[in-house]
Amino acid sequence: MAKCDLCGQTCKAIEMTQLLELYQVDSVICKDCEKWANKVKKVKNEILAETAPRVREDISLRIGNPPARRKWFSLWEQDSE
C-alpha cells in the first residue's frame, strides 16, 4: 500500500500518479488529488484564456501611442512648489 503525499489517503501503489510535468512536485498523489489538481489547473487556464485577449488589446492600443515620459527635473520642480 502507498500513501498520498497530499491527502494522506492509503491506496494501492498502482493507483498513485504524478502531476503533469509542468506542475510536478517531489511527491506522488492519489487519483482523487489528481482530479482536484486538474480542476485547479482548468480554472487557472480559463482565467488565462480570459486575460490574454485583454492584454493583447491593451498592447495593440499602446502601439504607436507610447505613454508620456516625464523629465527627471520635473519631479524636483513639483517638490519645490
Task: Report pTM.
Answer: 0.47
Closest among 8, 16, 48, 22 to 34, alpha carbons compared: 16
Q: Would you state the pLDDT for residue 25?
A: 65
Q: Would you state the pLDDT for residue 76?
A: 64
The pLDDT tens digits for 45-54 are 888 888 888 8
Q: Would you state the pLDDT for residue 59?
A: 81
What's the rounded Cα separation, in Å, for the pair 45 and 2? 31
What's the rounded Cα separation, in Å, for the pair 75 and 69? 12
